[in-house]
Each structure stands twice: as C-alpha cells, then as structure tokens.
A and B are shown apart, each in its own frame.
Chain A
C-alpha cells in the first residue's frame, strides 16, 4: 500500500515546476556567472556553497573530495578509483547499490568520477527531492560500511572496467604509456585506473584507512545548485553533516616535476588499432598558473572546431591525418598538453609530424590575428554557455561541479569569473611567448602506436 502510494507521489512531484520561468538576464560582466547565495563552513570543516536559481525545477548536489590518484602510494595504483566504487557498496543506513535505487526512483541521476587530482560524487534530482541526496551523501561520509565480499566483487568490477574501457580498446593503452613517459614523478605519471597487480594487493584494511584519511568533512567541499531555498538548504546541511567528525589534514603529495631537457620517445604495439597514430606531448603549467590562460587559448586555436589550425592543415590541407586533436590535460599540479594524430595509411609518422611541428612553430613565429584570437575566445565562451559542454552553465549539475571544484582547489568560488576575465585578456604576444616556452623540441614526448593484430597466446591477461 504505502509503497505504491509513494511511487505515485514521487512521480507527480517530479513532473513539476516551471521551465525557464525566471530567467536571469546576462550581465556576465557585472554579475558572477554562478551567483553564490550562501557560502559557509561547518565546525567540522565542511565547506558548503549554495546557488539558488529557479529557472528550471531541477537541483544538483556535488561533493569534491581532495583526493585522487596522485595521493596513492607506490604499489597501490588504482586505489582511489577502486575506493570510489566502494562508496556505492553501502553505509550504516543505506544498503549496497541503494544509492542508485533511491536517486533513480526519485527520477534523478547520479555518479562519481576519479581523477588524478580529485574525486567527485554528484546527484541531479527534481528540485523538491534534493534532501535525498544529502541523506545519502552524509550517510556514506559518516559511516561507510565495507564487507570482504563487496570488496572482492568491486575488485572484479574494476578489473572488468579496465579490460572494457582500456585494454580492449584501440589507442587507449598507448595513451596510458604516453602519460607514464611524459611525467617523471610517479605521483603524476601512474594511471588512475591502476594496474592489476596493484589492485590485487589492495585489502579491505586499505579501504578503511583511505576512508578515514581522505573522506573527512574537512577534506571536502559541497555545492548545491538549482531551484532550492538557501536558508532551508543550510538548515538541512547542518542537520545531515554537522555531526560527522573531522580528521587530521592529510599530507599533500610531492608532485614536483623536473623540467624536461631531452626529448623522449616510445613505440607501442597495439593489437586493436587499425590505423597508425602518435602522440606528441609536453609538460604544461598547472591550472591558474600565469601561462595557463594563454595555453587554453592555444588549445582552441589548434583544435577547436573545423576552422582550427590542425584540422585545416592536416586533415584538409596536407591530408595526412584522419583525425587530429590537441588537448590541455589541466590539473591542479603539473599538467600535460597532448596532440594526438590518427594517420592516413599511406604515409610515415615522420612526415606527418613535420606538418604538426610546422603548425607548432607558426604559433611561435607569427602573431595570431585579432579575428582569430577573438574566435578562440568565443570558443571558450561557447564552452560555458552551450548545452553539451561539461561545464555548461545551462546545467545545474555543471554549475554545482564548477563551484565545488573551484572552491576545493582554490578556496574561491569566484575564481571561475576571474579565470574568464584572464582568458579574455590573453594577447597575441602572450600566445607567442607561451608557445615558445612550452613547445620545445627537447621537452617533447613522442609515442608511436603501431597496429599489430594480436596473437591470442601473447595477449596480456593478468588475471
């Protein structure tokens, strides 16, 4: 009886609300892009941001924990991610996998992701259901429960994830080897997914220790965004999170990355690739370092849209590439700038690299025109405002994640607006100067992918 009644209630509840009824007009220059209506810290150290916005009947909650693959110890690679899986295996009052049941049956969605430099958990719900997310997140923050059986099951799941999304895919294992080669410090270079040997050496004891160390309220930032009442949210946050004890602040990992003085290269056989490919990558500045903004603009110049330099040069002009992309893998610490080219079959990597390098040299020697610079900046604006982008301001979850990340990393939710200003201030001279500094021959790491259909006998199967 009760159950079906609730089912109905949930339903009608989530089919509610006005879409786009109270638009905030764009006054991006004066008003912050994500106005924070409340910003407070609980006595246990949990920092909370609330951004009230009633334009769609949706609310999102995002928590960023200041822990990622870079916090792992040698011999335990992949643990941060394995742990993330354990966060779905139940806590004192929430059963194994019930996060999905609760959120999805309220009409919402949820997930989590592990990065080199942080881990996030998030829910998106019809806005009048948002308390559910607080109940779920607070329960696992205070009382994660792990059993040997669940641990072993998730160990298998993670291995399967590795096989499915990495080992069995063309180019992906090589991309991991590229990062391992590009960085010199193990904290930066080892893959977030880890390796099977390390995963097998993880124990349930590690899970408990990791939880205690990194999943404390004072190591987290939470953002709630959308069609909510800020004062009511603060009351609920205090109710659900205030009694969770804080923990000693964990040590920060040593991420020091030496300047690369000699070019590195590697050839990787790929049993699943049909076309040869290669990476050229360089070490790059961390997020919000002075050269970060110009390098962000360079990424757009090289690779955003069909008018971008690499596409026009290599796919359309020289016609020696099937695909070419350049991406700034931006992290809070040492980062990478990576160009990836899938080659046409009837050429050589050396020839194709000449095209790539000549575009790189052009960045250094010829100033970008005003129009092209403005185009690149408009592409950055597009990333903020279009529907599909990860950081899209159209999405309450996108806004929640931005607030939580910026506040966790830099202590300042409005650092986001400052970043937009700094992108807009990048000059043609900045582009040249930063290109010269970053894209050196000796600082480059080149990885060639050679298609090689596997002999089944030789297939790595570490299980």
Chain B
C-alpha cells in the first residue's frame, strides 16, 4: 500500500515515477505546511464542449471508424449550487481566532495555528531568527525534551512542524483522531512553553549552515537568490535565506525574546478540521490555548521602499559545467489585497499558469526547449513579484529568452480571446474547489483568509470574483504590472557558453555562485547586489 520510494527519493528529486508533465508550478504550495502567501496560481484551459450525439451502445466490435459520436467532447451537465463547508468561528478571550470544521470521513484531525509574524521582521544582523525560532519550538519545552516530543507526535500517528515564511508563522499538527487530546497537549506545549535548549540550538545552527552551503549547488536557489536581491533591494522580501554569519550570531536569548514578543494569541488564528465532537473540541481549545496564553503588543509591519529599475538588464550567475540554463524574468507587481489581484491571477493563468498556458505550449510543446515553462504571481502581505521562468538547454538560452519576451509583450498588447479567458477562469475556480477536498487544503484556505485579513466572504465569493474579470481587465493589468522596459532578467548557467548570445538582449552583470559580482559591466550598480 505504500509507495514509499516517492517519499524517499523526494529528497533528491524523484527518479521514479517519471511524470509526463511537471505538476508543480513554481511558488505554488497548495498543500504544504506554510500558508500560501505566494498566491501563485495554476492552469488555464480551453474547451469547446458541444452536444454529443447519443448513440446506443455500439455493438459491432469493428465499428471504430463509425463512432462519429466520439468526435465531440461530452455535453456539460447542468450547474449545481456552491455550498461552503459549515465553519464555526469564534474568538477566545485572549484574542485568538478559532475556526472549526467537522470532517468525519476519516479518523483523522488537522490543526493549524497561524501567527502574523514572518521573516520580514528579521533584523538584517540577525537574519534567520524568525525561522530558527519556529524551527526550534519543537526541540524542547519546559517539561519535555526534543526526543520526548518527537516520540509523542509519532506515536499518535501525527505530524508536527513549525515554520515561517515572509509574512506569517505556521504551526501545523495532525494525528489519528482518537489521540486528539494528546495532539493538543503537545501543540500547546511547544507554542506556549518552548525552552530552546542550548545544545539543540547549536546543532540546528550547524546543520542550517551546512544546508545553506548545499543549497548553493542548486540552480533554483541561485536563481531565486539573485532575482529577489535585484527585485526587492533593501526590502525584507529580498532575502530568501540567512547567511552563515547571521546564523552564527543568533543566541538562545534572541530566541527566547523573539518568542516572548511575537508568539501572541492576539495575532494567532487556529483552524481545526477533522473527526471531533464540537462541544468537546471547544473545551479542549479553551483549556489548552486560552487560560495560560496572555495577549501582548504585536510588532508593527515594517514598510520599506522598493528599488526602481532603470532599463532592462541581465544578471547572470555563472555555474560552470551546467548542462542547462535557468531563466527567470519579471518585476514587482501586487499584494494580496490589490484590486487587480483577480485579473492578475487570470492573466497569469493564461500566460504561464500550467500545462496548456502560452509559455508551456510555446517553449515546451512547440520548441522543445524545456521540460516546463511557467509564470507566477507572488502576492504577499506587501507587493511581491510577477515572474516567468524555465530551465532550458544551454544551447537554446537566447532563443528561449526571446520567446519569453515575446509572450510577455503579447499579453500586454493583444487582447486575449473570450475563450482563452473563460478557460483560465474555469480552471482557477475548479482547482480552488478541488483543493478543499483534503483537511489540510481546507484548513489552509480558512487560515489564509484570516492571516491576510481578507473579507469574511472571501471564500464564498472567490469564484464570482474570478468570473467578473474581463478581457479588457487582463490587458490593463498586464500593461500595468509587467514592465518590459525595465524587466529584471536572471540566468543561472555556464557563462562561457551562454554569455555571448545573451549580450544582444541587454547589459550583463556576472556573479559567481557565492553571490559575488565577478566581472560586471561598467554600470554594475545592482540594488542589493
């Protein structure tokens, strides 16, 4: 029953199974442990569904050619009404927000706690503190050692992890539902009473530093590092990982202080989805998260000015021996609450949301340059980046870049067809609903609504908001949020092979894999570089 080799090899990329179409869209994390701050989206689609000619079950075995009723895709069934799962919402006296959804399909329970504090609050000298604090809360409490916590979580068929992204911190737990009391015990313990043992912290820091070194061997990391540095400048979103130096500086006292100041019930949202009795669940929540958890003053969100780009430029990270080039181009676009959010995700869907979007069809299907080409809208609490990316063979780096620019320009200039737009809308609406099939998928959407302070009817109206987008909206937002004159182009690849051809597109700054500018052009004043 287990296909464990998938999990096993996921560490090093699954060799088996080999999947025809890469389903993961960069930046998307529908069922991951962290809240979907990056509101990246998937796919678009196209369909002409016409009436099918009803035939009686064909009887002649060789009648294949005669089956003309197959010419058309089956007719669409009539629409059904949308019904949200029943959500019970309330607030605890300490300000913690609670949402409960019963799901008795399986004997399992999923519990998520989100707190509105993310890595953006890291001070430059102590980069990594927010993440390290989250990472450390499961490594010991006032009464339990790291191993005891792990034993307990694994025994109850559970999972427990904590992590931070740019805007939020998420603690997610789950267990077989017969052990729900034990799950709440351990979750409350790690959130309220972490002790940050010195020896565990030292080990975590050492390993983190070594993992950072390993990350430098991965083209994805190098690409995102450079792209975010250039795009976000001094803004905290520019940082995708801490450095050895800042991690070394972080002390146990820093973690204790950070936890005390930021792990507050008044910025926390709790979501429970699963097989539980609601009255008992409310008692359990009150006993574990209300009595001993006192509110405090939350940090104000830091606003930092974003850099302005002057002209199109290429930032090339030299990775000698690379058999491929990783390309990413884009610019700052919108935040999660922007009025253009829905038009932008539809536009993105058409451009590069998935396997039948323009980038994929052009660069993969027609040209065969890549295994997959996608785009994404990284809308966070503050403005994120709109970007398109692909890994391509080294010898077609320049032709691929040309196609990217062509597709971005086309979206800005030529109105999309109604059909292309409707297909994209259908996909977005459908995948939203399909994503609610699992406990964690539903919990994540409920949490997202609170963490980003979206309207209470956000989930109910999501589909209608997508429906309301017009073809004019799409061109308007493409022109507004895709800035081709000043687009930031990052490439990771073998500079010796690819640089001569790239020079025809724009001026190039070359970096080595440690992030150092190695032979930049005269005007190499890159923000944050």
Q: In the assembled complex, how far is the CB of residue A450 from the closest CB belonging to chain B, in whole angstroms? A: 13
Question: Quick check: B391 and A164 within 8 Å, CB to CB?
Answer: yes
A191 within 8 A of B: yes
What are 28 A-B contacts defined by CB distance under 8 Å? A4-B422, A7-B418, A9-B76, A11-B422, A13-B77, A13-B78, A16-B81, A20-B85, A23-B103, A104-B43, A105-B45, A107-B431, A107-B433, A109-B431, A115-B17, A126-B430, A168-B219, A243-B58, A274-B217, A296-B2, A299-B4, A305-B154, A330-B3, A330-B5, A387-B441, A388-B31, A394-B106, A394-B438
Contact partner of A416 among B1, B48, B71, B439, CB < 8 A? B1
Contact partner of B213 among A6, A153, A274, CB < 8 A? A274
Query: Which of chain A's residues have a CB closer than 8 A to the CB of B436?
Result: 19, 56
Within 8 A of A (CB), among B1-27: 1-9, 11-21, 23
Question: Quick check: B434 and A58 within 8 Å, CB to CB?
Answer: yes
Q: In the assembled complex, how far is the CB of residue B500 from the closest CB belonging to chain A, in whole angstroms? A: 15
Give A165 to B7 CA distance when docked, in angstroms: 16
Query: Which of chain B's residues have a CB closer than 8 A to the CB of A132?
Result: 49, 73-74
Question: Quick check: A453 and B321 within 8 Å, CB to CB?
Answer: yes
| Contact of A420 with B159 at beta-carbon distance under 8 Å, contacts A115-B17, A169-B13, A245-B61 already known | no
Most chain A C-beta atoms within 10 Å of own C-beta, residue among B23, B71, B151, B421: B151
Query: Which of chain B's residues have a CB closer than 8 A to the CB of A143?
Result: 64
Question: Quick check: B47 and A10 within 8 Å, CB to CB?
Answer: yes
Contact partner of B371 among A11, A108, A160, A374, CB < 8 A? A160
Question: Quick check: A6 and B15 within 8 Å, CB to CB?
Answer: no
Question: Quick check: A105 and B47 within 8 Å, CB to CB?
Answer: yes
B82 within 8 A of A: yes
Question: Quick check: B356 and A387 within 8 Å, CB to CB?
Answer: no
Give A384 to B107 CA distance when docked, in angstroms: 10
Give A58 to B442 CA distance when docked, in angstroms: 14
Q: Is the interface of A mostly helix, strand, loop or mixed?
A: mixed
Query: Which of chain B's residues have a CB closer than 8 A to the CB of A57?
Result: 80, 433
Query: Which of chain A's residues have a CB closer than 8 A to the CB of B85?
Result: 18-20
Query: Which of chain B's residues have a CB closer than 8 A to the CB of A344?
Result: 210
Q: In the assembled complex, how far is the CB of residue B495 from the closest CB belonging to chain A, in whole angstroms? A: 10
Question: Quick check: B423 and A104 within 8 Å, CB to CB?
Answer: yes
Within 8 A of B (CB), among A1-36: 2-4, 6-21, 23-26, 28
A395 within 8 A of B: yes
Query: Which of chain A's residues have a CB closer than 8 A to the CB of B434?
Result: 58, 107-109, 124-126
**Residue interface mask B55-80, A partner, CB < 8 A = 1:** 10110111110010011111011111
Give A268 to B192 CA distance when docked, in angstroms: 47
Contact partner of A384 among B1, B11, B102, CB < 8 A? B1
Contact partner of A329 among B8, B105, B365, B371, CB < 8 A? B8
Query: Which of chain A's residues have a CB closer than 8 A to the CB of B44?
Result: 104-105
Most chain A C-beta atoms within 10 Å of own C-beta, residue among B19, B159, B323, B391: B323
Give A134 to B74 CA distance when docked, in angstroms: 9
| Contact of A307 with B159 at beta-carbon distance under 8 Å, contacts A105-B426, A168-B324, A385-B107 already known | no
| Contact of A330 with B155 at beta-carbon distance under 8 Å, contacts A26-B275, A93-B71 already known | no
Give A221 to B11 CA distance when docked, in angstroms: 31
Give A4 to B174 CA distance when docked, in angstroms: 43
Count residues of A near B (Cβ-Cβ below 8 Å).
Answer: 158
A348 within 8 A of B: no
Within 8 A of B (CB), among A158-185: 160-161, 163-172, 175-176
Q: Which residue of B lies closest to A4 (CB)?
A: B418
Q: In the assembled complex, how far is the CB of residue A19 from the closest CB belonging to chain B, in whole angstroms? A: 4
Q: In the assembled complex, how far is the CB of residue A235 from the closest CB belonging to chain B, in whole angstroms? A: 8
Most chain B C-beta atoms within 10 Å of own C-beta, residue among A17, A153, A305: A305
Interface residues on B, range: 35 or more
B207 within 8 A of A: yes
Q: In the assembled complex, how far is the CB of residue A299 from the closest CB belonging to chain B, in whole angstroms? A: 6
Question: Quick check: B82 and A16 within 8 Å, CB to CB?
Answer: yes
Q: Which residue of B lies closest to A462 (CB)?
A: B323
Query: Which of chain A's residues have a CB closer than 8 A to the CB of B425?
Result: 7, 11
Give A17 to B429 CA distance when docked, in angstroms: 13
Q: In the assembled complex, how far is the CB of residue A188 from the closest CB belonging to chain B, in whole angstroms? A: 12
Question: Quick check: B438 and A142 within 8 Å, CB to CB?
Answer: no
Question: Quick check: A107 and B368 within 8 Å, CB to CB?
Answer: no
Contact partner of A6 among B6, B47, B60, B159, CB < 8 A? B47
Question: Quick check: A322 and B211 within 8 Å, CB to CB?
Answer: yes
Question: Quick check: B83 and A97 within 8 Å, CB to CB?
Answer: no
Within 8 A of A (CB), among B85-115: 85, 101-108, 110
Question: Quick check: A17 and B426 within 8 Å, CB to CB?
Answer: no
A290 within 8 A of B: no
A402 within 8 A of B: yes
Give A272 to B324 CA distance when docked, in angstroms: 12
**Residue interface mask B411-434, A partner, CB < 8 A = 1:** 000000011011101110111011
Question: Quick check: A316 and B146 within 8 Å, CB to CB?
Answer: yes
Give A30 to B364 CA distance when docked, in angstroms: 50
A210 within 8 A of B: no
In addition to A7-B421, A132-B74, 18 A-B residue pairs with Cβ atoms within 8 Å of each other are A2-B50, A3-B418, A7-B425, A11-B422, A11-B426, A15-B82, A20-B103, A55-B105, A104-B355, A135-B70, A193-B15, A242-B57, A308-B154, A319-B203, A327-B9, A394-B108, A395-B438, A416-B1
B284 within 8 A of A: no
B181 within 8 A of A: no
Question: Quick check: B426 and A394 within 8 Å, CB to CB?
Answer: no
For the complex of A and B, 8 pairs with smallest distance between CB atoms: A107-B430, A7-B422, A327-B8, A105-B45, A16-B80, A454-B321, A104-B45, A12-B79
